[in-house]
Amino acid sequence: MPSDPNQAAALTVKLVTERFEMSSAGQTAVSQYLAAIGRKGGIKGGKARAEVLAAEKRKEIARNAANARWQSEKQ
């Protein structure tokens, strides 16, 4: 660490910035991977869920969704 306070501050900023850039690159790769997985499940999600649910449960979900839409319009 340099003895000059200005140089020490500059070095600290440089080290923190480099670490942030390195961690951002790793997070970007992870984010892209998770987005791909989400799309993969999202493509078949609604249809697959509807096939598994009983008719009464689908009606209940639809009723709750309609009620929520009407409630948000009133407020």
Q: What is the pLDDT of residues 9-25, one digit of tens each?
A: 888 888 877 766 555 56
Q: How far apart are CA 13 and CA 30, in angstroms?
A: 26
Domain that holds residue 60: 5-74
Token output for 44: 């078949």
> pLDDT higher for 23 or 28?
28
Compute the mean pLDDT over every residue in the chain, rounded to the nearest whole number. Answer: 81
Q: What is the pLDDT confidence band of residue 60, given thresholds at 50, 70 and 90?
A: very high
Per-residue pLDDT reduced to its tens digit, 40-54 = 777 777 888 888 899
Q: Which residues contact 58 (CB under 8 A, 6 or more apart)?
A: 50
Please state the pTM of the whole predicted model. 0.39
Domain count, the chain: 1
